Amino acid sequence: MCDKSSNYVRGQKSAIISAMPVRKSLPEAVGQLLIMGFDGTVLTDSVRAMLRDMQPGGVILFARNIETPRQTHALLKDIQKELEVRPLLCIDMEGGTVDRLKNAIGPAPSAQEIARSARRELFREHGRVIGAEVCALGFNVDFAPVLDLRFDASLSVLGSRTVSPDPKATTIYAREFLRGLKESKVLGCGKHFPGLGEGTLDSHHALPVVRKPFKRIWDEDLVPYRDLARQLPFVMVGHIAYPEVTGDEAPASLSRKWITDILRKRIGYKGLIITDDLEMGGVLAALPIEQAAVESLRAGANIYLVCHQEERVRACYEALLHEAEKDSRFRGHLLDSAAHVRRVKLRSPELTRRFPASPTDAAIDKLRQRLWLLGEEARMAANAIAVEA
């Protein structure tokens, strides 16, 4: 499956980006702060040119990019060959409704299904087996687990993606899931800070606005982030507004109050902060995408996501480069963020491991069996609890 060697970093350079002259390092820094998506199951000439020109820090694949295990592995390997610095190879794999590999490998149970078992060993196995399948194809980052609370307001939007209205129960599941991912040599990500649990709108299409005082948010939605601050390699900031906290209806993904003042300073989070996809309606309702990219990084994010349209990916890259060239303070922030990204890439065993060999049919069959068995064990445990009740 995945090679556990941690001594391989393709294209490693002799000095981190912040130590290089500004003119040389600025385009590289801007590239390192981008995770991009694209259409297709192979690299087109235009996407290949974008990878070579912009040298993004990472790439994210969706179901539209994935047909078979071997095709996905070959695509990721091809992407990596175009990039000088080892990339973040990302996927959203939660199980249930957000399962990019269900057609290529097999369906994974949802967080809610696993949580109903009330068995911590299954929580960890959920992360372990999802980590094993994404690692086998070449991914090194899984944008999971979801830390949003299971409030009634968001059930129609989030469904089985959430675990419990109890923040402590959510933390217990997430901690074990993250441990399972780590055992499979994959980095996880808590999302969607500061919490979509009381949002009634889908941020893919519109901006949820929640009028909730900070004390309740601190005691509820933020508990998983507070408790897991040292275990989360990434935190993804969502497109949701809390006007009673910020005094306006700007999404958290563009808010210095949320990203720098609360997540970075008050909670003390030291990992990488990434925005949710800037092509989503929840943020485009506030600003054009190029401005959103600038403002998200100005607010304190380290990395931004643009997941689909090639012209938008290029527009954001050019906007950041232009802003950094004219604003020295912003340029300094970009260089610092790029250095932070580089350090994580150099220090994380999950990112320095050797790219895995193409998965065999036997290995994929074994993963299918593990997924099925996990689902069956979770269902039996949940049924036993229901009978006892």
Please state, rounded to an integer, the average pLDDT across all residues of the chain. 92
Q: What was the pLDDT predicted at 224?
A: 98
Please name which of 347, 358, 367 lies closest in space to residue 7, comparing C-alpha atoms: 347
> What is the pTM for the complete model shown?
0.93
Local confidence band at 202 (pLDDT 50, 70, 90 cut-offs): confident
Say which residues have a Cβ less than 8 Å from residue 90's Cβ, sequence separation at least 6.
35, 58, 59, 60, 61, 139, 140, 141, 142, 143
Q: How far is CA 377 from CA 43, 106, 174, in A?
A: 39, 16, 19
User: If pLDDT is split at 50, 70 and 90, which confidence band does 317 have?
Assistant: very high
Q: How much is the pLDDT for 2?
A: 66
Residue 286 lies in a domain: yes
Give a yes or no: residue 219 inside a domain: yes
Is residue 245 one of the residues assigned to a domain?
yes
Query: What tens digit of pLDDT does each residue of 102-129 get?
Result: 999 999 999 999 999 999 999 999 999 9
Looking at residue 312, its pLDDT comes to 96
Q: Distance of CA 230 to CAs 90, 98, 260, 352, Å?
A: 21, 25, 17, 20
The torsion angles phi and psi of 327, rounded to 5 degrees, stand at: -125, 105
Q: pLDDT grade, residue 203 (50/70/90)?
A: confident
pLDDT exceeds 60 at position 78: yes
E-strand ranges in 211-353 read 234-237, 272-277, 303-306
Count of domains for the chain: 1
Average pLDDT over residues 11-30: 54
Hey, which bits of the chain come out as E strands?
A: 34-36, 58-61, 88-91, 93-95, 98-99, 141-142, 189-193, 234-237, 272-277, 303-306
pLDDT at site 268:
98
Range of the domain at 219: 188-308
pLDDT for res 19? 36
Q: What is the pLDDT of residue 201?
A: 86
Domain assignment present for residue 37? The answer is no
**Residues forming the active site:** 204, 276
Task: Note the pLDDT tens digit of each residue in 208-262.
Answer: 999 999 999 999 999 999 999 999 999 999 999 999 999 999 999 999 999 999 9
Q: Does some domain include residue 314?
A: no
Other Cβ atoms closer than 10 A to 365: 12
Q: What is the mean pLDDT of residues 72-82?
A: 97
Q: CATH number of the domain that 290 lies in?
A: 3.20.20.300
Residue 13 has pLDDT above 70, yes or no: no
Q: Is 265 domain-assigned?
A: yes
- pLDDT tens digits, residue range 140-174? 999 999 999 999 999 999 999 999 999 999 999 99
Residue 7 has pLDDT above 50, yes or no: no
Residue 194 lies in a domain: yes
Q: Identify whether 301 is part of a domain.
A: yes
Burial of residue 132, with CB atoms counted within 10 A of its CB: 0-12 exposed, 13-18 middle, 19 or more buried: buried
pLDDT of residue 206: 87
Q: Is the pLDDT of residue 6 over 50?
A: no
| pLDDT band of 1, cuts 50, 70, 90 | low
Among residues 264, 272, 265, 269, the alpha carbon closest in space to that of 348 is found at 272
Say what percent of the chain tops pLDDT 70. Answer: 94
pLDDT at 356 over 50: yes
Q: Does the structure show a pLDDT above 70 at 20? A: no
Predicted confidence at residue 205, as pLDDT, reads: 85
Whether the Cβ atoms of residue 209 and residue 282 lie closer than 8 Å to each other: no
**What is the mean pLDDT of the segment spanning 372-385?**
96
